Structure 1
Amino acid sequence: MWIIPGQNQSWVSEFVFLGFLGGQTSNGILFIVFLLLYLSSVLGNGLIITLIYLDSNLHTPMYFFLCILSLLDMGYVTTTIPQMLVHLLAASKTISFAGCWLQMYVFGALGLTEGIFFAVMAYDRYVAICYPLHYTVILTWGLCIRLAVGTWACGFFFSLIHTFFTMRLPYCGPNIINHYFCEGPSVRSLACMDTHLIELVDLVITAIVIVAPLSLIVASYIRIALAILKIKSTQGRCKAFSTCASHLTVVTFFYAPSIYIYMRPNSSYSPECDKQVSLFYNVFTSLLNPVVYSLRNKDIKVAFLKVMGHGRVA
């Protein structure tokens, strides 16, 4: 805490994470569990990126988007988990005000980018299934790059607005965050002023970068479902459905907890519940993506076997 000269008001210069309550033994167990989950997530997403880079057969818009999703997941989980692992073993669980600002901004930017990017991936599936003969004409590499750059720009821009308004609030104590990282609602609950205006700003941002993309995803999959029903071949319907099922699975596991966290007022803030929900969409979703896409995707399996020296698999 530090005090502004000439005023009787103290301001927070650092925050303390409460983290997960438990003794040394339970913290040690949590450390091992989350370390394994983190390494699995990074290695899994890293493997997908490597396979897509090495196999020229995967140099298509679909796998270009999947590569970016894996890159987002790696950054997403790396923003929070390494620090949490250190705090599980360290006596001090503090983070500077500037460090909290940076963590909130990067975490929010990657999360918002990923949320918008799911809509881009849904559009890719929509074009592939509804307009298969014009797929390469519609989704040119120039358009793919513009969609990717635009998505990243939107994520980082809206995260800057969210972080700026949150960290501009007066924090005059207490400075204990009942969380394992600097997440917006958990930090905002410590502000010593009414936060309804900031909550409204967050609600608008959420509507733009979560509700709007989710609506586009739903609309895309309604059109996709109608197109799949028109496919006469049972094998063709199954292949189209399998391709979409992977995307729908990760979209559901990402959006459901995100909406719960960011589209409710501060008055309903529940620290313990929020920590569990945040773990789900931060750690487990990042781990789920490579598992879902690798286990359900024949092209990824074939690329893996080729890289491992087993040649081309029919």
Structure 2
Amino acid sequence: MTVTTAPVTTAPATPASAPTGAPTGARAAELAAAHGLTLSGARPSLPRYVAQLWSRRHFVTAYATARMHATYSTARLGQVWHLVTPLLNAAVYYFVFGIVMHASHGVPDYLPFLITGVFVWDFIGSSVNAGTRAVHGNLGLVRALHFPRASLPLSSVVQLFQQLLVTMGALVLLLLAFGQRPSWSWLLAVPSLLLMAVFCAGCAMVMARIGSKSPDVSQLMPFVLRTWMYSSGVMWSIDSMLATDHLPHWVLLLLETNPAAVYIDLMRFALIDGFQAHSLPHHVWPIAIGWALLAGVGGFVYFWKAEEEYGRG
């Protein structure tokens, strides 16, 4: 008995990635446009990005406040460390530079001079350092939620600015204890702080983009910041250094226009009686405004241009 079988014909397999009837190419783009769909994770326009960030301003503030309270939550002194840390740094610098290295010679009101410089530098250096970890240190949040990534470095700066306001209150009390008298010039501390905050926010966003791609930069930053601090006149007077002739002109110019030194000197001029206008660089306010605009606007645009790349790879 012979059994015959009919030949079996098979239809060509349809790729799983392209099911029958699925729109492709131009048709998919037309459907997306018709229904208001956009590419997930795409970078919005700059005005729209600013609007999105502004709509989340309450999140930025709340996130910064929560992080500030959590910073020393396990320490017995808690938030007191926000004040104790810069004071301990000032004590160490006073011993090393003021007593051992005689940096206090020729500087009137050296202790207020030093404490003001340490408090202001602590905000600048911490803002830049925190920016390097702002995105890379929050990858879980970045990959889980869709929000303007600039919220992360900005919240770090807001957190540090809140801490600075606490330490500034203590600084005023210390200045009064050291014999400084309140005057109208103290009001200049307000625009100085605001310009410095804008500058630090821009620097934090620049470092956040760099740190998101090269996490190892956070290991290098302590050395960079230490060099920057020593060249910013935190512990010594740049004005007395400018009076000497043994440094090249370009070095003196860099010292004089160093943004950290500019903001520190503006705060000293506002709060310290013995710090006179001749100790400030020429055109100091245009320089301070220029640094704030350059870092603030430039840093924001630089960060925004890589918006769709954060959290990938």
Normalised TM-score (structure 2): 0.29
Rg comparison, structure with higher value: 2
User: Which structure dedicates a bigger proportion of its chain to strand?
Assistant: 1
User: Which structure dedicates a bigger proportion of its chain to helix?
Assistant: 1
Normalised TM-score (structure 1): 0.29
